[in-house]
Amino acid sequence: MTPLILLADERKSQEVTDWASRIGWVVGLLLFIALCYWLMRQGWTWRKVLQSDVPELTAIPDDPGPAKLTMAGRYHGSTTAGQWLDRIVAHGLGVRSRAELTLSEQGLAVVRPGATDFFIPAGQLREARLDKGIAGKVLTEGGLLVITWEHGGKEYDSGFRSDHAAEHPEWVAAVNAASSNDKQDTREGAR
């Protein structure tokens, strides 16, 4: 019975938490997180300054004509054409949002609730393709509709994903047909 009495004598209470140290670590961690967010915001602002040469986006005309195709989905951003990681943030092009696309004879209208709407005239559409990624978004092969367009002497890629991905091939065919028709019209007008 002596071992039981010895165990009872050696009992200790639980160590008390050092609250000052714990609070210090939590505050330090929160400050580190705040610094990271501030640096990301500064990077975004600096990118916007570097892209200040991008002209204002074309506004959607009052009467863009009858719609050939419409699509509801998400706008995932725009990049420099052919460089899928070089995000364009000027004029709100870097803001991801819901989007409604309407293709007509006059061009492509991109309506984005909560972000800047813009219009790509038919003469500035270059091509459309199915791809797997654009800055900030990577999907399975062919999961993203990428439309290449010209604005202010530079070409851009804009990524869209329809709520119904089966619509993507139809969009690729329609945009490519519209851009090739415009190229033919331009060549015939030059003759």
Tokens encoding 132: 């797997």
Residue 184 has pLDDT above 60, yes or no: no
Q: Which pLDDT belongs to residue 172?
A: 93
Instruction: Name the percent of the chain lying above pLDDT 70.
Output: 87
Residue 185 has pLDDT above 60, yes or no: no
In 3D, which of 170, 158, 163, 155 has the Cα closest to residue 118? 158
What 150-153 contacts at long range (C-beta under 8 Å, 24+ apart), as own/partner pairs, is 150/124, 150/126, 151/54, 151/55, 151/57, 151/58, 151/120, 151/124, 152/53, 152/54, 152/55
Residue 16 has pLDDT above 80, yes or no: no
Q: What is the mean pLDDT of the chain?
A: 85
Fold of 67-190: PH-domain like (2.30.29)
Q: Which pLDDT belongs to residue 57?
A: 87
Instruction: For 121-171, write each residue's pLDDT tens digit.
Output: 989 999 999 988 888 788 878 789 999 999 988 999 999 999 988 889 999
In 3D, which of 124, 129, 130 has the Cα closest to residue 109? 124
Tokens encoding 56: 């204002």
Residue 188 has pLDDT above 70, yes or no: no
Residue 17 has pLDDT above 80, yes or no: no
Mean pLDDT of 107-125: 91
**Distance (Å, whole) CA 181 – CA 76:** 27
Choose between 32 and 21: higher pLDDT.
Answer: 32
Residue 187 has pLDDT above 50, yes or no: no
The structural domains of the chain, with segments of one domain joined by +, span: 18-50, 67-190
What is the value of pTM for the model shown? Answer: 0.74
Instruction: For 30-44, write each residue's pLDDT tens digit.
Output: 999 999 999 999 988
CB 182 within 8 A of CB 167: no
The C-alpha angle with vertex 148 and arms to 48 and 176, in degrees rounded to 5, equals 165
